[in-house]
A = this chain, B = another copy of it.
Amino acid sequence: MLSTGAAPSAEFSPRQSAVLAEALRLLVEGGDKALTTAGLARAASCSKESLYKWFGDRDGLLAAMISFQQSKVRTVERSGERLTADLLHDHLDVFARDLLEVLSGDVSLALNRLAIGQSSRDGSKLGRMLVEHGRRQIDRRAMALIDQGKRAGLLRFDSAEAAYHTLYGLIVSDLHVRMLLGETPLKDNKAQARRAVEAFLTLHGVQRDSGDAAVSSGK
């Protein structure tokens, strides 16, 4: 299911992984400008020649950094347990918090900034990598959960895709762009996650007992 990209998605040797980790550190610390081949060679105690042998050129290095980071972050597969309303609620809440945490991670932000900065130069190659390889996993996790919720009779919607986009928007709103622009993340992701899940269930959840699902305005 994976390794469908044009990128070789090759494993990296321990030495290469250490260099890539250092590259990510430099990128997080100082952004695009701080990630120079000479600087990386110095910081990682390797030679520029090795960098070019391993990654081809600077763009190859950037692509390798994305692959490397995403090979480290893997979402755990949810086993298909029987869903109840409470379980669905909990899983949605965990998903929302996870999503916010991932998006506000400094490495994630740095890589997104990098890809956005390069998007007008390389035909969005990095951007596509980021969306395809990085987002697809978390998307799949949410879509599976949503589908499961529908099959269990707990959610209703026409298009799972549209419902997921709704959930995503409710969770993230403009936070991602604001953080990319340099704003500091929220203090409590938990409240934001809770609000988003409440709203999502109000929109797409089947009516529970009484007015439990018609909240969002009162307590």
Contact = CB atoms under 8 A, between A and B. Distances in A.
Contacts of A196: 169
Interface in A78-127: 110, 112-113, 115-117, 119-121, 123-124, 127
A124 B203 contact: no
A181 B124 CA distance: 6
A25 to B, nearest CB: 13
Contacts of A119: 31, 113, 180-182
A8 interface: no
Contact of A130 (B176, B181, B202): B181
Nearest to A124: B182
Interface string A185-210: 00000000001100100111000000
Contacts of A124: 181-183
Say whether chain A's binding surface is mostly helix, strand, loop, or mixed.
Answer: helix
B177 A32 contact: no
A172 interface: yes
Contacts of A38: none
A181 B178 CA distance: 15
A174 interface: yes
Interface string A59-78: 00000000000000000000
Contacts of A128: 181-182
A140 interface: no
A19 interface: no
7 contacts: A113-B117, A158-B218, A172-B173, A172-B174, A180-B180, A202-B203, A204-B216
